[in-house]
Amino acid sequence: MNRKDLSIKKQAPKRLEHVAFQPAKKGKLPKPLDKLSGTRLHATSLVNLGEGLCAVFVWKTAPVVEQRQLYGWLFQSVENGLLPLARMDYHPSHKNLHVILNCDRDLDLSNRGLPGCKEFALREVAIDPDNEHDRLHFIAIFCERFNIKLGEDTGLL
């Protein structure tokens, strides 16, 4: 995928209407997230955004804030599964808020993560992933970055 293709996907109309975190269970999500499980992991289901795009959010809890994490994935549905377009991560211990983009790579990353893709640091934020309001703030930042409209009356903001 090149930058122009990624930009077209970013500009496509998308809307996130609802998110709900549940304990992550192996095999509940499609590849590349199908192996997520554990008592500390929570994930949303695959959320349809429209235009063949979907998202998943993952929250990792831990005893101390520095070990907690948040992830947001943006996927495109393709013939053989899901193509990851971007991932936004929050790691309070080292990288803070950053995004990884699938562009300028000649690899088919369908049903895979984003190995070797471009990574960009975003603004510093102070978020506690165990706080529901902060998780929703992370999702709002994700939606802002990828031009996703937040549904009205959903309580996301």
pLDDT at 157: 47
- Answer yes or no: are the C-beta atoms of 70 and 63 closer than 8 Å: no
Q: Given a cut of 90, is residue 15 above it in pLDDT?
A: yes
Q: Is a pLDDT exceeding 60 seen at residue 156?
A: no
DSSP conformation class of 17: -
Which one has a higher pLDDT value, 152 or 61? 61
Kindly state the average pLDDT of the residues 124-138: 94
Spatial contact of 81 and 110, defined as CB atoms under 8 Å apart: yes
Residue 79 tokens read as 């013939």
User: What pLDDT is attached to residue 111?
Assistant: 44
- Give the model's confidence band at 116: pLDDT under 50 very low, under 70 low, under 90 confident, else very high: low
Residues linked to residue 107 through DSSP beta bridges, in sequence order? none
Question: Across residues 16-25, what is the average pLDDT?
Answer: 94
In this prediction, residue 129 carries a pLDDT of 95
3 or 133: which leads in pLDDT? 133
pLDDT at res. 106 = 59
Alpha-carbon distance of 60 to 36, in angstroms, equals: 11
Pick the closest to residue 68 from 77, 59, 76 (CA basis): 59
In this prediction, residue 79 carries a pLDDT of 87
Q: What is the mean pLDDT of the chain?
A: 85
Residue 104: the pLDDT is: 57
